[in-house]
Structure 1
């Protein structure tokens, strides 16, 4: 019998299947047995590509990082450092919004993940090239990660129930419209992120103006 042109299993196939599973059901749904069933292979065959489930999740996290647009940090791009950070933050959050269940793994840091390291390198390099001292460039990268990751870990608007009776004015005199928040989740959460991002960048711009003083 002729051998198949493509192998039954590959690293990319495993990561794609694991990513879909994480998106649909969360991190707890991922197991080597479940992935093997999804891929139609035997469980041990996965170990030819990944030694542990954690390695698979690391690969899913890196594949997610690889989706983030970094073009604003290219040396030939004419955006200034503030605009670059702004545009990158929006791009990063957009990716995390599409894949919220992998955020806890990403929040642990890039580790040895190639795409994650390229992301960190791009942000740090652009800030240093713009004139920020290396130590402060490191802090800016950390600050942006805290802010972006935090915004993706949960929804403020979705934290309120769609039940007017839950907000008795005798107990919560200022939450008379809180039951309406959930239906406006995207507008509220995106607006809050943009408001916070602008405030953050305004503060950094004040610091930048004093460099060299």
Structure 2
């Protein structure tokens, strides 16, 4: 058997993500990663050039779970809804890396491929290129806003903090106990309103080529 552990790109990404999940984004360093892999830090550079490159690779793997297949059915509303739900679910599994992902697609192939699908489907449905860009950006604001914080968990369970000073928030102390359910339902409410609002101002889809006038 080899004296040193066998390194692979997949094993490096998995271990790096484990560290991020456990210690946060700032908790990842190439030295700590090497130690957890049982190798010298110099050994990592044969597989990844920099920590930033590694983060992009980890991010790309997470984003493979974002589902844009709904756009293939020709219904941009369904496509947006599927994309948003799967995106939020993917981020919810690894919340510590969300701030890195929130910077935008940059040069991440996984992000750009999915954005290309979304943009193309929206333009094909009759939206202008500018509108398609704005819709995609708005969807990201919604998804990342939901992933970066929990509204319900931010309240104290101490009823006395709200009861006397904020009479309309006298039940706010109950929110942390139902945070997961309420955050999910709040996201669904916002997503539904977003898609319905777009549908109300949607352009008329272009007529199929060769159709009768």
Give TM-score scaled by structure 1 length. 0.90
Give unmatched runs, 5+ long, in structure 2. Answer: 207-213
1:118 matches 2:113: yes
After superposition, where does 1:13-24 map in structure 2 within 5 Å? 13-24=11-22
Q: How far is the alpha carbon of 1:8 from its aligned partner?
A: 1.2
Q: How far is the alpha carbon of 1:157 from its aligned partner?
A: 0.6
Partner in structure 2 of residue 106 of structure 1: 101
**Match of residue 82, structure 2, among 66, 80, 87:** 87
CA distance, structure 2, for counterparts of residue 122 and residue 186 of structure 1:
31
CA distance, structure 1, for counterparts of residue 46 and residue 98 of structure 2:
27
Give aligned pairs, total. 205
Go from structure 1 to structure 2 and tell me whether the alpha carbon gap of 1:143 and 1:192 turns closer, same or farther (over 3 Å shift): same
Q: Is the 8 A contact 2:56 2:108 kept in 1?
A: yes
CA distance, structure 2, for counterparts of residue 71 and residue 199 of structure 1:
22
Deviations 1:160-211 (A, max 9, x none): 1121122242x11111111110010111101110111111111111110578
Partner in structure 1 of residue 186 of structure 2: 192
Q: How far is the alpha carbon of 1:154 from its aligned partner?
A: 0.5
Q: How far is the alpha carbon of 1:51 from its aligned partner?
A: 2.3
SS at match of 1:132: coil
SS at match of 1:12: helix
CA distance, structure 2, for counterparts of residue 25 and residue 122 of structure 1:
34
Partner in structure 1 of residue 41 of structure 2: 43
CA distance, structure 2, for counterparts of residue 41 and residue 24 of structure 1:
20
CA distance, structure 2, for counterparts of residue 210 and residue 161 of structure 1:
48
RMSD over aligned CA atoms reads 1.9
Partner in structure 2 of residue 172 of structure 1: 166
Partner in structure 2 of residue 143 of structure 1: 138
CA distance, structure 1, for counterparts of residue 82 and residue 108 of structure 2:
23
Partner in structure 1 of residue 55 of structure 2: 57
CA distance, structure 2, for counterparts of residue 68 and residue 23 of structure 1:
19
Give TM-score scaled by structure 2 length. 0.90
Following TM superposition, the consecutive aligned residue runs of length 4 or more in structure 1 with deviations greater than 4 angstroms are 209-212
Q: How far is the alpha carbon of 1:136 from its aligned partner?
A: 0.8
Q: How far is the alpha carbon of 1:79 from its aligned partner?
A: 5.3
